[in-house]
């Protein structure tokens, strides 16, 4: 064991492909400059002490799953997966720090699973292959959100911008010359697994929506590769329409995006969205967003090229 190990993981934004990716549609996702860190260090106690927001929580094998406060249930599940795989139940301190918004579609759960698994394997000097570690993180995410597509995990692990298309995933160049931006409208009132369950039923009942989603993602890929703003605008508008049909875009967000369209700005929900309330978490924008009077800050999208890694 080492004195301490710190692992850093970026968050992510889905440019297009959410929900339909579970039905075979491609998705374009990029890692962003929001980060979670996990620092593992020596603990003389018999269990695992978790430090979050200056609060200390103790975990052990004896904790009953499902009875711990959020997000400790999820953290315990990840730690249990590590213990089952390694045969080593952690006895250490785990300090978690993050500026990735939680419950907003920025990949906080994926980053947390990867950060915990990577820091523990590094600290205990236990080799876990990339494929196995990613699979363990996907298991954890599936527990949290329902069936995981794996795109959050893979993006946070690798960094950069990616096209996920079944077995033909590959990195793509987003570049700083394209006017993508994002904003956080606040935590959603609907849980991700609730949205996924609802949208999967809709997509199965309306397979033409999967076709429309696929076409919009491919259109966005062409627009990015050829640096064609008008194609990018149209692809975002087309995917926005798919998400409206899936019932995950509240009326106030539709009105805001309609207002943006009149200013030459396109926008869409970038994540699971919400079945109720006025907040959808992450929103993606394209165009000169300085023209838009939005009720929340809009940030330029900066791709984080480095994925999950140990801090030197």
Spatial strand order in the sheet of 298-300:
266-269, 282-286, 180-184, 298-300
47 versus 106: which is more confidently predicted? 106
85's enclosing H/E stretch is helix 72-86
Quote the Cα angle for 17-23-27, to 5°: 20
Of 8-12, 39-43, 209-213, 219-223, the one with minimum mean pLDDT is 39-43
pLDDT of residue 64: 63
Does pLDDT of 63 surpass 70? no
**pLDDT confidence of 214, banded at 50, 70, 90?**
very high
Q: What is the mean pLDDT of residues 105-109?
A: 94
Q: Are 161 and 172 in contact (CB under 8 A)?
A: yes
When pLDDT is cut at 50, 70 and 90, the band that residue 67 belongs to is low
Going by pLDDT thresholds of 50, 70 and 90, the confidence category of residue 60 is confident
**Domain residues of the chain, as ranges?**
4-168+304-310, 175-300
Checking if the pLDDT of 92 tops 90, the result is: yes
- Residue 229 reports pLDDT greater than 90: yes
Read off the pLDDT band of 9 (50, 70, 90). Answer: very high
Q: Supply the pLDDT for residue 251.
A: 97
Predicted structure pTM score:
0.93
Tell me if domain 4-168+304-310 and domain 175-300 are identical in fold.
no
Higher pLDDT, 142 or 199: 199
Share of the chain above pLDDT 70, in %: 97
Q: Flag whether pLDDT at 6 surpasses 70.
A: yes
Q: Average pLDDT in the 122-128 region?
A: 94
> Mean of the pLDDT values across residues 178-188?
96
**Residue 254 — pLDDT band, cuts 50, 70, 90?**
very high
Span 20-53, pLDDT tens digits? 999 999 999 999 999 999 999 998 777 799 999 8
- Does domain 175-300 bear CATH number 3.30.70.890? yes
CB-based burial label for 269 (10 Å; 0-12, 13-18, 19+) = buried
pLDDT average, residue stretch 243-257? 97
DSSP letter at 303 equals B
pLDDT, mean of residues 114-138: 95
At residue 171, the pLDDT reads 95
Give the C-alpha distances (Å, rounded to integers) separating 124 from 1, 77, 149: 5, 18, 29
The CATH number of 4-168+304-310, from 3.40.50.800, 3.30.230.10, 3.20.20.150, 3.40.50.2300, is 3.30.230.10
CB 297 within 8 A of CB 41: no
- pLDDT at site 58: 87
Question: Would you place residue 66 in the very low, low, confident or very high pLDDT band (cuts 50, 70, 90)?
Answer: low
Question: pLDDT by residue (tens digit) across 269-308?
Answer: 999 999 999 999 999 999 999 999 999 999 999 999 999 9
């Amino acid at each position: 064991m080492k004195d301490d190990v710190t692992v850093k993981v970026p968050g992510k934004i889905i440019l297009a492909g959410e929900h339909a990716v579970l039905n075979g549609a491609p998705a374009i996702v990029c890692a962003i400059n929001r980060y979670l860190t996990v620092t593992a260090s020596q603990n003389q106690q018999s269990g695992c002490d978790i430090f979050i927001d200056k609060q200390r929580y103790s975990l052990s094998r004896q904790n009953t799953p499902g009875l711990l406060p959020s997000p400790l249930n999820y953290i315990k599940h990840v730690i249990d997966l590590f213990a089952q795989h390694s045969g080593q139940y952690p006895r250490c301190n785990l300090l978690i720090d993050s500026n990735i918004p939680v419950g907003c579609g920025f990949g906080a759960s994926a980053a947390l699973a990867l950060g915990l698994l990577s820091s523990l394997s590094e600290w205990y000097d236990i080799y876990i292959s990339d494929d196995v570690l990613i699979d363990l993180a996907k298991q954890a995410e599936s527990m949290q959100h329902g069936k995981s597509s794996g795109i959050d995990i893979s993006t946070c692990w690798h960094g950069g911008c990616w096209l996920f298309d079944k077995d033909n995933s590959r990195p793509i160049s987003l570049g700083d010359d394209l006017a993508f931006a994002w904003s956080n409208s606040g935590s959603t009132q609907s849980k991700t697994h609730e949205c996924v369950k609802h949208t999967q039923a809709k997509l199965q009942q309306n397979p033409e929506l999967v076709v429309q989603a696929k076409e919009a993602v491919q259109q966005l890929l062409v627009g990015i590769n050829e640096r064609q703003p008008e194609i990018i605008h149209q692809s975002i508008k087309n995917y926005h329409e798919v998400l409206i049909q899936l019932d995950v875009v509240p009326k106030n967000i539709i009105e805001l995006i309609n207002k943006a369209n009149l200013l030459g700005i396109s926008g869409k929900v970038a994540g699971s969205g919400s079945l109720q309330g006025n907040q959808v978490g992450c929103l993606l924008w394209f165009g000169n967003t300085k023209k838009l009077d939005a009720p929340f800050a809009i940030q330029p999208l900066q791709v984080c090229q480095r994925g999950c890694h140990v801090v030197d």
